[in-house]
Amino acid sequence: MIEVDEKKMPWSKDLTMASLLATLENVDFCSVVRLNGRLVSSPKFAETIIPDNSKIQLLPLVAGG
């Protein structure tokens, strides 16, 4: 299992961040996530493998600086 924004979700082997987000609704603003506390940005979603028992937070970034 993994936790996405504190909700439990099933985990599968070779699950990537891109494939996880493809299963979620309304994630247009999600270009950055925290995967087990570490920032991962959208250009790296496809290559980022999610380990089992991971905690993921979706960051809705609009502005910065």
Interface ranges with other proteins (CB under 8 A)? 5, 26-29, 31-32, 38-44, 57, 59-65
The CA distance from 57 to 61, in Å, is 12
DSSP class of residue 24 equals S
Tell the smallest beta-carbon distance from residue 53 to other proteins (Å): 19
Q: Which is nearer to other proteins, 22 or 61 (CB)?
A: 61
User: Which residue is it, tokens 């439990």?
Assistant: 8
Tokens representing 37 are: 């506390």
Residue 38: what are its φ and ψ, rounded to 5°? -100, 135
Q: Which is nearer to other proteins, 1 or 63 (CB)?
A: 63
CB of 8 vs other proteins, minimal distance in Å: 17
